[in-house]
A and B are shown apart, each in its own frame.
Chain A
Amino acid sequence: MSLEQFINEAISPWMKEEGPDSDIVMSSRIRLARNFERLPFPIIAEKEDLQEVLNLFDTEYHHRTYKNYHDLEFVRMSDLQPVEKRVLVEKHLISPHLADKSVQGGVLISKSEQVSVMVNEEDHIRVQLYFPGFQLDKALDQAFEIDDWLEDKINFAFDESKGYLTSCPTNVGTGLRASVMMHLPALALTQKINRMIPAISQLGLVVRGIYGEGSEAVGNIFQISNQVTLGRSEYDIIEDLKSVVQKLVEQERKARRLLVEQSELQLEDRIFRSYGVLERSRIIESKETAKCLSDVRLGIDVGYIDNISKTILSELMVLTQPGFLQQYAGKSLTPQERDIFRASLIRERLILEK
């Protein structure tokens, strides 16, 4: 398979589109946690109970189309190879927990890969919707529609006082986790983000790096999400998140302007060095890849680089993960082999731009 073809199949169709503020907001996500009223939650349920959930998804939702979500496909985890599961994790369509730990797990995915419904994860049902750029309202409205559609066939565990009942007390109430993935290179470079994170936490929101370990944000990619799910309406939760994201977008734009004005040649030098590394290296590990991709994307956004497509950052962040590398290689690779393979994939990908 050619690289072009591989990328076309590997990158979710919605990721190729641009959304509002997509120079900074890479994607918006809504997740709703729901459970069957009658059945124990997956962590404790019997195999037969969980199979009942799987069977319902198979008979009621497999190969159905709901509104503009075409040809939903239901897959059982037990029918997938480890590398196939890994790829779904790297596309954020399923969680590592569903891939490796769930008993009787499954996932319902729309053709656009914008909707994925995880089945028998920590909760029986986790509906996820992705939108490119900053589109939380739209994502929530459509998540509600899918929720209603599922509710036609399923009695959800719901309590008048506690709302939607979930396995973990951190999700009870709305079961909503709204999150936004942001590229904040200028706030990270000027260390401003470190001072902003505590203030954002005060508002009941969580800021964290999405790639890499602990609090480190590899590739200057941050995820901001709500923590509180009980006692506030979904719309209020989203409004809070939106106002913080809006502020961060403004601050990042301002920091970028200042950086360009004040750094003379240093910023431009840094960006073109990173571009050179991506274009020329023969061995590259994932952390350096992320740093260079972040620089190049910043270079595109501030106008130093104009011959590379904007989606390069999100696209290559996904494609250079271990699962994808091995799928493209068609075999399992040692960490050293991966670094070599990663470098050659990036070089080939940049040649496609020419």
Chain B
Amino acid sequence: MECQECHERPATLHFTKVVNGSKTEVHVCGQCAKEKGYVSYDEEAYSLHDLLSGLFNFDSTSLTGQKNTPSHTTKQLKCEKCGMTYQEFTQVGKFGCSECYHTFSDKLDPIFRRVHSGNTTHDGKIPKRIGTNIHQKHLVKELKNKLQQLITEENFEEAAKVRDEIRSVEKDLNQDQGGEGED
């Protein structure tokens, strides 16, 4: 097959591109891939083919015991927010939206482990606003445990105080969330 850009050299890179939800096949030579920006000469270039090509085969093999035949349930997985299916994700190697991470979550950890030296959980910066939410959620959890404890101990006076505390933290939390999503 000849390269669709220069029509001179043979096409060595084959992939599927998704633009606004519609897919197109791309067949280009290495040089055009670089020149036309299909593969950037920025650091992303190393990854996609080398790193992801074996990756998804690995995933489906481990699930079904058969190479390249995703199970029936795998085929049905579809992100409600952006419409991307798990199958499309494995072809493109990219997520369509943040919700995809939740929709495909059962299948992702083997992929993350392969790409990120065995890691599956974030350990780094947390956004300031969401960050305080996380702290508050943890606080609510702790207080609820304490409340249960106090109730079983029949210490209702203390329990009432803790309950008020939970309410005030939850109120803050809701206000934060209400404020979000605006911008």
Contacts and interface: CB of A to CB of B under 8 A. Distances in A.
Interface of A: 35, 37-41, 43-47, 56, 92, 95-97, 99-101, 103, 122, 144, 147-148, 151, 153-170, 172-174, 176-177, 179, 204, 206, 208, 210-211, 213-214, 223, 225, 227-234
Is the contact region of chain B dominated by helix, strand, or loop, or is it mixed? loop
B98 A37 contact: yes
Interface in B99-122: 101-102, 108, 111-112, 115-122
A159 B97 contact: no
Given A38-B181, A153-B183, A228 B97 contact: no
Interface size grouping (class) on chain B:
35 or more
Interface of B: 18-21, 30-31, 34, 36-38, 40-44, 46-48, 51-52, 81-84, 92-98, 101-102, 108, 111-112, 115-130, 134, 180-181, 183
B46 A155 contact: no
A41 B120 contact: no
Contacts of A44: 18, 20-21, 82-84, 96-97
B98 A231 contact: no
Contacts of A40: 81-82, 96-97
B10 to A, nearest CB: 16
B134 to A, nearest CB: 6
B93 A168 contact: yes
Contacts of B126: 158
A169 B113 CA distance: 11
A148 B116 contact: no
Nearest to B133: A160
Contacts of B102: 159
Given A100-B36, A206-B43, A158 B18 contact: no
A213 B129 contact: no
Max chain A Cβ within 10 angstroms of own Cβ: one of B101, B115, B125: B125
A228 B20 CA distance: 29
B122 A208 contact: no
B128 A213 contact: no
Max chain A Cβ within 10 angstroms of own Cβ: one of B83, B119, B134, B180: B119
A167 B38 CA distance: 16
A173 B108 CA distance: 13
Contacts of B118: 231
B124 A223 contact: no
Nearest to B50: A206
Contact of A173 (B111, B116, B127): B116
6 contacts: A41-B82, A41-B96, A44-B82, A46-B20, A97-B40, A163-B123
Given A40-B97, A41-B95, A95-B42, A170 B115 contact: yes
Nearest to A148: B128
Given A158-B126, A232-B123, A167 B94 contact: yes
A233 B112 contact: no
B121 A157 contact: no
Given A44-B21, A122-B44, A231 B122 contact: yes
A129 to B, nearest CB: 15
Contacts of B19: 43, 103
Max chain B Cβ within 10 angstroms of own Cβ: one of A173, A174, A208, A234: A173
B127 A158 contact: yes
B119 to A, nearest CB: 2
Nearest to B93: A168
A253 B34 CA distance: 33
Contacts of A37: 98, 181
Given A40-B96, A229-B116, A170 B101 contact: no
Contacts of B42: 92, 95-97
Contacts of B101: 159, 162, 165, 172
Max chain B Cβ within 10 angstroms of own Cβ: one of A43, A96, A100, A169: A169
